[in-house]
Amino acid sequence: MSTSDPTRQTGPVSLQPGAIDELLKASQAAQARGDFHAMLSQAEQAHDTDAGHFAAALRLAECRLICGQVSGAISLLKALQPQARNDPARWQGLAELYTQTARHADAYHCHQRSVALQPGNPRLLYNQAASAIALGKLDEADRLLTEVIRLDPKDYDAWQNRSTLKRQTPESNHVQQLNYVLDHLPADDPGRVAICYALAKELEDLQQNDAAFGLLQQGASARRRRLNYEVAEDESAMQAIAAAFDRDLLQRAPPAQPDAERIPVFVLGLPRSGTTLVDRIISAHPQAGSLGESNTLAFAMMRAVSALADGSGAVQSKTELIQRSTGVDFPALGQSYLDALWGYGDPHAWLVDKTPLNFLYLGLIRLALPQAKIVHLRRHPLDSCYAIYKTLFRMGYPFSYSLQDVGRYYIAYHRLMQHWRQAMPGFVLDVDYEQLVTQPEPQSWRLLSFCGLDWRPEVLDFHRSKAPAATASAAQVRQPVYTSSVGLWRRYERQLTPLARQLEKHGIAVD
């Protein structure tokens, strides 16, 4: 007599109806609770069950990326392309993961294939435009977004993105069209956010400053009302980081490794502070490359904390994550990060990770990656805050939609950077955006010297580089250095007076 255990697989999983779907759900659940080993294992089982199951293979590629197996993720994506065949959704799924692996040319190719299969689909055209922007194909992106708007006038993100592609002029702009759209949108329509930002940008280009700021306030306020966000949580997190990664802990860091064969370069700071410009300058050097903005360090930290938890459950709060992170195996964390970083396939010895909010992780970087080079961008406080406020990020940076929130976040960031400088003297190179754009050659020389790179004059021609740039500055970095953004806040001195007082009250000079 035999008994059967329904939880035990006794034969090929492919014979069990719905097995793959259940495994994929289990993989998602494991990811949600921070069990990355189980997440990957369930995805591997789903793929092993049926190697021809496209969704299972795509999920496995995603899990490999999260687990730092970047090379394996890229290899699987390439192997999957023939299986995409004539399915636009499959090409879109491939494109999304190619973007996450910084392979923007491959993502663009996948978007092209999906558009060829459904040439009148505005969503697919929009995605191709996003890839075109990353590759510097700005004229093509403008054409594609214009076609999206023709096919679907209610795609308000397309209107907003088109406005950011170039500086508008009295002879060439979309102000009249945008005003018409805004006038006909209901007061509670979420599309007003993107249209307000688009109009604000174009009116600022035309130096209609009061009107521009008024529309910006409308759009930002509407966006803020839809967010469940409290800046106090970020303030508390930065205070907790400084307390956890104190001078005593950071003094345990191993010495730098001057003979390291490969050097990670972290370019960080607040968004819109000039990090993309510095990234482009460094990566224009023949010995340096760039991955742009990446989750590589954040993923490595989450895996390290998960391993430390040893089954104690998912992290419940930012404070708990910070506390756990002080006890991770720092050398293992560093090696995990490096393995993932070089898995992207870039052969350069210096590789830039330009993720602005990595300033939160400087303690971890110091302890895990002593050979790393850290470049911190800073900018005039009011220019910095205004540049953040006027950008529609959509994903991330929820503090950006209220000037008061921006001010509070800036104060907390300023204090944390002061802590890092005091606790790790000499580890971080501060670069002032204003000096960089007004004195590009000496400041670029200073940058390269700090990173251990020899001087190459071609870094000053960074704007000629064909390398991708998938950030909010993607259009600007295709231009030579310009100074028009320096002191831009003075156009709005009256509107920014409360913010200036808020910063000054906490000892931050704004004049």
Gap between the Cα atoms of 456 and 434, Å rounded: 22
At 320 the pLDDT is: 87
At 1 the pLDDT is: 33
Angle at 184 between CA 183 and CA 190, to 5 degrees: 95
Using CB atoms within 10 Å of the CB of residue 426, give its burial: 0 to 12 exposed, 13 to 18 middle, 19+ buried: exposed
For residue 124, is pLDDT > 60?
A: yes
The residue among 40, 35, 87, 38 whose CA lies nearest residue 59 is 40
For residue 372, is pLDDT > 70?
A: yes
pLDDT tens digits along 260-305: 788 999 999 999 999 999 999 999 999 999 999 999 999 999 999 9
The pTM of the full predicted model, rounded to 2 decimals, is: 0.92
Gap between the Cα atoms of 230 and 219, Å rounded: 19
Quickly state the pLDDT bin for 7 (edges 50, 70, 90). very low
At 483 the pLDDT is: 76
Quickly state the pLDDT bin for 10 (edges 50, 70, 90). very low
Lowest mean pLDDT among 202-206, 309-313, 364-368, 415-419: 309-313
For residue 5, is pLDDT > 50?
A: no
Burial of 270-288, coded b for 16+ CB within 10 Å and e otherwise, reads bbbbbbbbbbbbbbbbebb
Which residues face 200 on adjacent strands? Answer: none
